[in-house]
Structure 1
């Protein structure tokens, strides 16, 4: 270790100790300080680790948490970045604060922002890259899905020996031939039925001949058992697959992966995909299928802002991060499976971390909500006027509708809602603001990690 790296690491660890003992947290600043002293410090920190990088548009944080849960039975001392701090400085902080296992494998499971994959890959040697999906998201930051994929591939191409674990139902992950070994996962729980994806769906052109792709099964958006009717392009063989979906509700899902029963204490088809990715990583690292199922059956598992349940008075708030059309539409589909009356709050910000373009709310299927079963609808956030207008166009009845700009007023309004269950859909910085407020009021421990 060079003197520069030694000083950088010492400074980073000292700042982390101070922040966590006197300032109640901080995942990015220690990494920033360390990188300021030694921009190449990650190369030193990551030595002697087997590293799995998890990236994609939706589901990175929960997939990372589920993967860690799956692997902890075999690798109890693994490193991760649990708060979703997935830029370079957050990853450096994760290494700074981890104590290496002296008597076994050192394993790191890292959530990584798509644009940061090539940046991180310069300094570390991943064992595997996990790709969840690619959807239109924050156009001001990422561009189209093909631009985003090329950013990821810049990192992957630095490590042709690393295994790729990819969503086989996403055509884009089968569009570029790479020398890497590949394991695909996907859904195979229904009989074949000829169909097309909705007309406004991204990523529907065959990468070989540009013909519109057809589907023998469609899960949602452009994910499913695709094929090109004009050439030989089709979904690859799946190493791990959902073979049956048994029951789904907003609170849980029961399904089978490779005929192994899985009980997940969180709802949403998109979270079945996240679980499938974690299961595939587990099998790749030789964890027994029954052990994976046992580790996933944990009702106490909570993930920062991702369908996190928070009790405020007599209300049970389910806090869900939303940030793009596909994500919010899948959340709305999940909410619609709730057979009990519920209330709904939507908080819209448009800061850099959220994406400054809010036009994606017009691709959300709010019109399909069961307003007859919704006790109250509340809009808020820094762009509350935009989301208020969108909900008015969607047809929310005036007698159940309220708008509030300030987060404090949002919380007070939620307390008066007529139903016990309240779903709060919020963009990233709105999640942070709400959690900070709830933490200061004592409803949760810690605001932002």
Structure 2
């Protein structure tokens, strides 16, 4: 390691120790300072690691968490970025925070990487594998259209032609046949090869990559994912190496399903989260773990930061769910339908850089399909509460059930006043962080280090 890199590491680790020990923080600033001092520092820090990059629009954080838990069943030294600080500064901080590892030990890094940062990360390290989850319209101000996002990811993948690609085979946009990388595909089994379906009219990514005609499906899981084929040119889904063969039971807090004849459960709801579990299963099997080890990992009930995180709010069950784009929002709304009991619903909408400054995506959400008869009250909040409040009004939420609180303290106070034993709060990224901080300050969330 060069002298400059050594000084950068000292700077970063000193900053991390101060933030960690005194302020219980440190997810990005130490890495930012070290990387600015020496852009080569990440290359030096990651030199002895086998790096697995997890990227895509939705599911990165949970897939990274589940994958880490799976691999911990066999490997002792796994580095990751658990809070979703997924740009170069956050990933550098994750390496700076890593404790000393024995020289001969196997070192793995499972890293969630922002789609627009894949190329930068791949310039700084050499990944051994990529996990590609999906690509949906998301934060148009940052990523542009979905094919722009794809190209940002591929710019990084092309820097690592030796890396194994573990790909969501149900996403037609991942037509990666021209790449030399070894490929493994995961997806959902289709039982009816005679079915001929189309995606919803407002779904992106449904054009055949070969001939630009509308893609057809034998089976659709959600949005543009499923067993696709093109009747015009013969383009079709690749053969799957790992597949969900059935969904056995769904609730807002659990998912029971079968992968390759093995029954599995995760403590989080939604079909979209089964894809994340399937991706983690794929990584585990490719790294020689057996099904029993993966089942043990999935059985762990540790919650993921801001993703269906359940909090005891004065005896009421408060569940915080991150939402950030139309596809993810609709899957969350669909998941809420599985709750058989009444509940209160909060929605905190911000439009900062990390959220995406354009809030028009909420109009593609299927609010009209919510079971309003089971929702005791809707409370809207956040910096753009007017937008989401109006969206509920247009969806014909009963006016006597709808209220708003512009101030987040008042928003939280009204949540506390609800008589419903169960409360779901949907929140964009910065609104989720702000709400979690207030809950932490009030003692409802045990303070954890963001490292």
TM superposition score category, shorter chain reference: over 0.9
Which is worse superposed, 9-18 or 101-110?
101-110
User: Equivalent residues in 2 for 1:434-445 (5 A)?
Assistant: 434-445=435-446
Report the equivalent of 2:32: 32
Question: Residues 155 and 346 of structure 1: is their aligned pair in 2 closer, same or farther, counting only changes over 3 Å?
Answer: same
Alpha-carbon offset, residue 189 of structure 1? 5.3
Q: Distance in 1 between matches of 2:40 and 2:365?
A: 42
Say which SS state the counterpart of residue 198 (structure 2) adopts. coil
What CA deviation, in whole Å up to 9, does each residue of 1:46-92 have, x standing for no partner?
Answer: 10110000000001000000000111011121100011100000100
Whether contact under 8 Å (1:436, 1:446) holds in the other structure is no
Question: Residues 101 and 375 of structure 1: is their aligned pair in 2 closer, same or farther, counting only changes over 3 Å?
Answer: farther
Say which SS state the counterpart of residue 172 (structure 1) adopts. coil
| Larger RCO, structure (CA 8 Å, separation 6 or more) | 2
Whether contact under 8 Å (1:189, 1:244) holds in the other structure is no
Q: Distance in 2 between matches of 1:36 and 1:103?
A: 31
Q: Distance in 2 between matches of 1:163 and 1:175?
A: 12
Q: Distance in 1 between matches of 2:342 and 2:235?
A: 45
Which is worse superposed, 352-361 or 172-181?
172-181
Report the equivalent of 1:41: 41
Q: TM-score, normalised by structure 1?
A: 0.98
Note if 1:248 corresponds to 2:242.
no
Whether contact under 8 Å (2:347, 2:380) holds in the other structure is yes
Report the equivalent of 2:411: 410
User: Equivalent residues in 2 for 1:30-109 (5 A)?
Assistant: 30-98=30-98, 99-109=100-110
Say which SS state the counterpart of residue 173 (structure 1) adopts. coil
Report the equivalent of 2:259: 257
Query: Which of 233, 236, 245 is the aligned partner of 2:235?
Result: 233
Report the equivalent of 1:22: 22
Alpha-carbon offset, residue 448 of structure 1? 7.8
Whether contact under 8 Å (2:190, 2:219) holds in the other structure is no
Whether contact under 8 Å (1:435, 1:448) holds in the other structure is no
Whether contact under 8 Å (1:87, 1:113) holds in the other structure is yes
Q: Distance in 2 between matches of 1:221 and 1:175?
A: 20
Report the equivalent of 1:270: 272
Q: Pairwise CA RMSD of aligned residues? A: 1.1
Mark the runs of 5 or more structure 1 residues left unpaired by the alignment.
Answer: none
User: Equivalent residues in 2 for 1:395-434 (5 A)?
Assistant: 395-434=396-435
Q: Distance in 1 between matches of 2:419 and 2:135?
A: 38
Q: Distance in 1 between matches of 2:272 and 2:206?
A: 19
Mark the runs of 5 or more structure 2 residues left unpaired by the alignment.
Answer: none
Alpha-carbon offset, residue 447 of structure 1? 7.2
Q: Distance in 2 between matches of 1:277 and 1:132?
A: 8
Whether contact under 8 Å (2:217, 2:226) holds in the other structure is yes
Tell me how many residue pairs correspond in the alignment: 448
Q: Distance in 1 between matches of 2:152 and 2:352?
A: 23
User: Equivalent residues in 2 for 1:12-411 (5 A)?
Assistant: 12-98=12-98, 99-174=100-175, 177-188=178-189, 190-192=191-193, 193-298=195-300, 300-411=301-412
Alpha-carbon offset, residue 446 of structure 1? 2.5
Q: Distance in 1 between matches of 2:407 and 2:24?
A: 24
Whether contact under 8 Å (2:140, 2:356) holds in the other structure is yes
Alpha-carbon offset, residue 103 of structure 1? 3.4
